[in-house]
Structure 1
Amino acid sequence: MPAGGKPTVRSRRFGHRMQRHRVSAGFDQSQAAEFIHGSRSKISRMEDGITTARPAEVLLLLDRYGVTDERERGHLVWLAKNSGHRGWWLNFPELSESYRDHISLEDDATFIREWQTVLIPGLLQTAAYAERTAALAPRSLTPKVVAQFVKVREERQAKIEEGGTGYAAIIWEPVVSLPLVPATVHREQLEHLLRAGKRSNVSIQVLPVSAGVKAGISYPFSSFSFDSQPTVEAVAIDNLRGSSILEAMDDLTAYASAFDRLRSEALSPDASARLIRRVLRSGKEEAS
């Protein structure tokens, strides 16, 4: 069960998926409880992410719910077993709880989609860019804490660099063309974007300023999928205090649609790379 009875990102995901299967099968919580000789309270706490269930109970419930897909069954058993797993990010005590939740979603995800309007996405930042932009945080950070945040960024990027996760980023044009960091750092960052965009699991698109209104500019957000299909199952919205995690079906549908609109109005990955190269050439000409 989650440590201290407190829901974790994984236990909430487990509970929500089990609840959807129960409702789809037409059972109430009391009926589900009878299947495992438990109480309605146990099912309620499980679906709220406060507790999980033993693998045998999970499989028994899924049998009664009519869930036969072996991938889904295996994934739910894995979530039940690992809901209290201690991730590497817990070794950084200065991270906020919401940031840890965000990293936990990234670590489990098979697909990540991100929209950014102010900064280069964290999963694509160079160490120098991450260090410089840390100074833009709403609260002052000590050099030691900044160094820790840069280290966390590098750890977060490992899964993308290893090809373990599909990643699609849409970046608003001013982020590319109007640097918030020194020119040398910005050029290094743009060169890194071009290299990252060549990875088979990475797609980088730039949304032109001219297309912003049509696409519907929104606050930066990331969406996550945890299965072989890129169905959005969680969304993280950036804010001044970290991230807010959304898991309600209406929210997931809205943000999936928002990303699709942004992607349809953004430049293609190839055209985006050409724009980034033009910005690089322009910067070099101004520096000469």
Structure 2
Amino acid sequence: MPTGGRPTVRSRRLGAALKEYRRAAKVDQPQAAELLGVHQTRVSRIESGHVTARVLEIRTLLDAYGIGNPEVRTKLEALSKNANRRGWWLEHAAHLRPDYLDHITLEDDATYIRDWEPVLFPGLLQTAAYAEASITSGPDYIAPELVAQLVKVREERQAKISEGGASYTAIIWEAVVTHPLVDAEIHRSQLAAILETGKRKNVTVQVLPFTAGALAGSASAFSSFSFDSEPTVEAVTLENLRGTSVLESSEDLAAYANAYDLLRSAALTPDTSATLIRRALRSSEDAS
């Protein structure tokens, strides 16, 4: 059961899926409660993520909803078993916002991660120096010891990519590559790091060129996540001034999946993107 009265991101995903299947089967909450032999309140709390359904409850409900797909059933049972699983990031929990912990949990569970970044290099690709520079350049004062903690978390998040735990695609606006927002030396090191990381088989880096026009301004930075063998978008996170928002409704997911497809179609190929990044790196070195 989620602790502290706050649903975990996994319990919310489980509850949302069960709610979707219940509605598709035209079963109401009182009927679902009768199937489980519980009060309707428990079904409501399961679907909101405030309570995690037990594996036996999941099997009973999916049987009643006509969901026989073994992959779906296995995934939902795994969400139940792992709803409160402790991840490496919980040792930093006292210093991190709950919504940021949600983002990290989604990252940790994902099989496919996609980032769109029109301002900064994505966190999963940042060097420690670039991460520190971007964190300290924000509008809020952050104590030096907390900056160090946040940089460490950002580095530890990158293990998901470096260890091949997910397929990762980043689309970055050309301005991020060619117009440094940090110290020039830090920017050069970041460009070199991007070129190295882009060589990994599970990593794709594409640059959206200036010639794409207004498309670059059509969406602020976002990340999308898939959790199965197919890259169907199942969660999206958005960064804003005060935190991270998690989107999970089918309408929102479809809109952001479409936005990413448009950005990817307009972006340079990975090889051409690498050429542009190398050119920007050489230009920066020549200017130094």
* Fold-level similarity (TM above 0.5): yes
Per the alignment, residue 76 of structure 1 pairs with 76
Quote the Cα distance in structure 2 between the aligned partners of 1:26 and 1:129.
51
Paired AA for residue 87 in structure 1: G
Quote the Cα distance in structure 1 between the aligned partners of 2:81 and 2:188.
45
Per the alignment, residue 265 of structure 1 pairs with 266
Quote the Cα distance in structure 1 between the aligned partners of 2:259 and 2:284.
32
Quote the Cα distance in structure 1 between the aligned partners of 2:166 and 2:215.
30
Please state how far the C-alpha of 1:212 moved relative to its aligned partner: 3.2
Quote the Cα distance in structure 2 between the aligned partners of 1:277 and 1:97.
38
Quote the Cα distance in structure 2 between the aligned partners of 1:4 and 1:142.
27
Q: Is the 8 A contact 1:233 1:252 kept in 2?
A: yes
Unmatched runs of 5 consecutive residues or more in structure 2: none
Please state how far the C-alpha of 1:217 moved relative to its aligned partner: 2.6
Per the alignment, residue 240 of structure 2 pairs with 239
Q: Is the 8 A contact 2:118 2:216 kept in 1?
A: no
Per the alignment, residue 192 of structure 1 pairs with 193
Unmatched runs of 5 consecutive residues or more in structure 1: none
Quote the Cα distance in structure 1 between the aligned partners of 2:197 and 2:24.
41
Quote the Cα distance in structure 2 between the aligned partners of 1:151 and 1:39.
45
| SS at 1:163 equivalent | coil
Cα gap change, 1:215 to 1:188, in 2 (>3 Å): closer
Paired AA for residue 120 in structure 1: F
Quote the Cα distance in structure 2 between the aligned partners of 1:52 and 1:266.
41
Please state how far the C-alpha of 1:89 moved relative to its aligned partner: 1.7
Q: Is the 8 A contact 2:173 2:216 kept in 1?
A: no
Per the alignment, residue 63 of structure 1 pairs with 63
> Identity of paired residues, percent?
57
* 1:158-197 to 2 correspondences below 5 Å: 158-197=159-198
Worse-matched range after superposition: 27-36 or 166-175 = 27-36
Paired AA for residue 190 in structure 2: Q
1:119 paired to 2:120? yes
Please state how far the C-alpha of 1:206 moved relative to its aligned partner: 0.4
Please state how far the C-alpha of 1:39 moved relative to its aligned partner: 2.0
Paired AA for residue 132 in structure 1: A
Per the alignment, residue 138 of structure 2 pairs with 137
The C-alpha deviation readout for 1:14-47, integer Å capped at 9, x for no partner, is 0001111111222111111121112222111100
Q: Is the 8 A contact 1:215 1:265 kept in 2?
A: no
Quote the Cα distance in structure 2 between the aligned partners of 1:102 and 1:135.
20
- Aligned structure 1 segments of 4 or more residues deviating by more than 6 angstroms: none
Quote the Cα distance in structure 1 between the aligned partners of 2:154 and 2:101.
12
Quote the Cα distance in structure 2 between the aligned partners of 1:248 and 1:202.
27
Per the alignment, residue 106 of structure 2 pairs with 105
Please state how far the C-alpha of 1:214 moved relative to its aligned partner: 4.2
For these two proteins, the number of residue pairs brought into alignment is: 287
Paired AA for residue 68 in structure 1: G
Quote the Cα distance in structure 1 between the aligned partners of 2:226 and 2:199.
22
Q: Is the 8 A contact 2:55 2:80 kept in 1?
A: yes
